[in-house]
Amino acid sequence: MRQAPDSGVDAAMALAVGLTESGRKVEDGRIVIWPWTVNAEGEGRRFDSKQAAVDWVRQALAGGMRSIDVGCMQVNLRWHPDAFGSLESAFDPKANVAYALGHLGDLSKQYGARLGIGRYHSATAEYQERYLARIDHNLGYVEEMRRRVQAAPPGVEPGGWGEAVLGGMAFTRGLVADAAPQPLLPKGFAD
The pLDDT tens digits of the residues spanning 115-138 come to 999 999 999 999 999 999 999 999
Question: Does the model's pTM come out above 0.85?
Answer: no
142 contacts: CB under 8 Å, gap ≥ 6: 12, 15, 16, 19, 185
**Mean pLDDT value of segment 43-67:** 96
pLDDT tens digit string along 154-166?
A: 665 555 444 334 3
Q: How many C-beta atoms lie closer than 10 Å to residue 2's C-beta?
A: 12
Burial class (CB in 10 A: 0-12, 13-18, 19+), 148: middle
**Sheet of strand 43-46: strand arrangement:** 43-46, 37-40, 68-70, 75-76
Q: Evaluate if residue 7 carries a pLDDT over 70.
A: yes
What distance in Å separates the CA atoms of residue 70 and residue 163, rounded to the nearest whole number? 28
